[in-house]
A and B are shown apart, each in its own frame.
Chain A
Amino acid sequence: MKHARTIATLLVLLVLVALPFGLGHYGYYILATVMIYAIVALSLNVLIGMGGQISIGHAGFWALGAYGSALVVIKLGFPFLAGVLVGGLVAAIFGALVALPALRVQGHYLAIATLGFALFVQQVLFEWEGLTGGRQGLFVPRPSLFGYELQTDFSYYYVLLAVFLLLAWITGNFAGSHTGRSLMALKMSSVAAECCGIARPIHIIIAFTISAFFTGVSGALYGHLLGHLSTETFSLAVSLSFLTMAVIGGLHSRAGALLGGAYLALAPELLREFKDAQMVIYGITLILCVQFLPGGLISLVERVWTIRRPPRAAP
């Protein structure tokens, strides 16, 4: 059984590596966005799936990462990877700050607070023209590694894939760690967890900080892919799409995060004919998903997978 899992993982890796071959420039671009979105989905896996904390303001962290990285690269001459790290760290700092109200409130209150946070970030970035270019926006240089500029999205895709795999690995380690399990314990029963010596505040702050860091990294990577930033890129609709893809992919699985990223990147292509009705279809899929497939698309895959194995003996 353990072997089966390893083989499945290797297969997925092989497919991910082979995927760009035979595609054109637009295909590379789409694949790159899949990875960028998948990182955000991963961050929501940590926050919602493990921490039980909701956010409908992740576009705010995404924006902070994108602008943070772009600014240090442009104005201070940081190399690309250092810029991405700075983007992640800026978002992480704000993540810790957003966690403060989350310590006292839960559920829908938190959703409202994160929503307000994202709007606030968007507005400040828009108004602060001297730094962010305001309405005009900001031009961001192409990504470069060790002095070599990555001219095509083909090569950039592999950088993004590597970042995704690194963060997925970290997520897995965290999920198995004492801190990660304590976080999940708090989600299952905060009273029981606290009486086991597990302190809620620090774990919620950690969850928000990690999640914001991942999303900030993703935003930074996205800025370098787009080449141009404007605050419209970080609207409320983006926050909602993030939540949608994370739920549809599956909130409790790294492979689910990948599926979520693929959904968000590919759905606009597949739904192109529907034009304006696209977002309506997103909404409908989201509702159908929570109603009929609360584990996300990945649970479907897992179900097919387990049919071939004998069921575990009931106690």
Chain B
Amino acid sequence: MITQLVASGLALGSIYALLALSLVLIHKATDVVNFAQGEMAMFGTFICFALLTRAGLPLPAVLLLAAPLGVALGVVTERATMRPLQSAPPVNALIATIGLWMIFHHAAGWIWGYDPVRFPSLFSPEPVEIMGARIAQNSLGIIAVSLLVVVLLYLFFEFTRMGVAMRAASMNRRAAQLMGVDVTRTSLVAWGLASAIGVVSGLLIAPLTFLDFEMMFSVLLKAFAGAILGGFNSLPGAVIGCLVIGVLENLIAAYVSTAFKDTFAFGIIILVLMFRPQGLFTRRIAKKV
């Protein structure tokens, strides 16, 4: 029982982790927290669904298209909304992402309706036996896909020119700029990547919860919680934080109460912000005056 709970918790957590990765990616590159990240993921998933049902594309083709589609969504959004605010106070960019949230959220309801629809399963629901515990293939599949994304992201940051430049820019933007890193481009790339990863998370969660214009909100809240646990500036920290959140959520639902299954994430956010705002894994760095 507990093994299954932990396994499905890890699967849930890895979906949160993907969204948290998107949040942290953009935050590291541009100092903006994209409140619309979840809604963009939902919107992208709806587009995939439309390709599947209305355009009649086969599922594998849609899955292949998902990432490029996500990139396009992110790039267009960044150009239209963030670019003009590059030199404005940071709170303006934050407000703009809240505007994006409203746009994507309600546009999805407006275009595709407000009723939840069933999204085809990507993995077989049959459980497999691992070390004496029966674990759903679904959970294993989700964990595998998330792991793949994390590995690809790692390779990008370690071995590509762009990735290294982005790492430099996230550490010291001004210095990176002086060394010829194009900050405008890193922002664009971050938004593209983040949006693509977000769409993957949307595709993973849609079969579990039905595809619905409100489906990403609780995911976003938990991705926030996980990212904050991890310090909001560390990609591995965000992943670990989200896995913790996923497992905790399952255990609380099973042993405590399902009523506050979603609000507990908020409790964690508040506790971390009050007592350890730098997150669990990063050291606090004094502000240079």
CB contacts (< 8 Å) of B88 on chain A: these are 290, 294
Determine whether the beta carbon of B91 is less than 8 Å from that of A107.
yes
B101, A111: Cβ atoms under 8 Å?
Answer: no
Any A CB within 8 A of the CB of B289: yes
* CB < 8 Å neighbour of B100 from A52, A56, A278, A287: A287
Q: Tell me if A105 and B96 are in contact (CB < 8 A).
A: no
B85 to A290, Cβ gap below 8 A? yes
Q: Does B19 contact A (CB under 8 A)?
A: no
Which residues of A have CB within 8 Å of B269?
Answer: 112-113, 116
Interface 1/0 per residue, A253-290 and B, CB below 8 Å: 00000000000000000000000111110111011001
A287 to B277, CA, bound (A): 29
Chain B: minimal CB distance from A48 (Å): 8
Contact of B106 among A104, A108, A283 (CB under 8 A): A283
Is B228's beta carbon under 8 Å from chain A?
Answer: yes
Which chain B residues numbered 24 to 57 have a C-beta less than 8 Å away from chain A?
27, 32-33, 35
How many residues of chain B have a CB within 8 Å of chain A? 42
Counting contact residues on chain A (CB < 8 A from B), the size range is: 35 or more
* Complex Cα spacing A123 to B96, Å: 27
Give the residue name and chain of the B residue nearest to A110 (CB): B273
User: What is the predominant secondary structure among interface residues of chain B facing chain A?
Assistant: helix
Separation of A52 and B95 alpha carbons in the complex (Å): 13
A232 on interface, CB distance cutoff 8 Å: no
**A306 contacts chain B at the CB level, 8 A cutoff:** no
CB contact between B98 and one of A56, A100, A109, A278 (< 8 Å): that residue: A56
Q: For A111, give the chain B residue with the smallest CB separation.
A: B94
B99 touches A244 (CB 8 A): yes
Residues on the A chain within 8 Å of B2, using CB: none
Interface of A is mostly: helix
Please report which residues of chain B, range 233-289, place their CB below 8 angstroms from some CB of chain A when the two chains form the complex: 259-260, 262-263, 265-266, 269-270, 273-274, 277, 289
Cross-chain contact A104 with B273 (CB below 8 angstroms) = yes
| CA distance in complex: A284, B98 (Å) | 10
Q: Which residues of B contact A290 (CB under 8 A)?
A: 85, 88, 92, 95-96, 99
Cβ of B171 under 8 Å from chain A:
no
Q: Are A112 and B224 in contact (CB under 8 A)?
A: yes
Does A291 belong to the interface (CB within 8 Å)? yes
Determine if A240 is an interface residue (Cβ-Cβ < 8 Å).
Answer: yes
- Asked whether, in the complex, the Cβ of B103 is within 8 Å of the Cβ of A294, the reply is no
Contact, CB under 8 Å: A111 / B102: no
For the complex of A and B, 7 pairs with smallest distance between CB atoms:
A116-B266, A283-B102, A108-B33, A283-B103, A286-B99, A279-B106, A276-B110
Q: A117-B270, A237-B102, A244-B98 are in contact. List 20 more A-B contacts (CB 8 A).
A: A101-B270, A105-B277, A108-B27, A108-B35, A109-B277, A112-B228, A115-B221, A116-B263, A119-B266, A191-B289, A243-B95, A276-B106, A280-B102, A283-B100, A283-B102, A283-B106, A286-B102, A287-B81, A290-B85, A290-B95
B-binding residues in A (CB < 8 A): 48, 52, 54, 56, 100-101, 104-105, 107-109, 111-113, 115-117, 119-120, 123, 127, 191, 236-237, 240, 243-244, 247, 276-280, 282-284, 286-287, 290-291, 294
11 A–B contacts, CB within 8 A, in A order: A104-B274, A111-B33, A112-B228, A112-B269, A113-B269, A123-B260, A243-B98, A244-B102, A283-B99, A286-B98, A294-B88
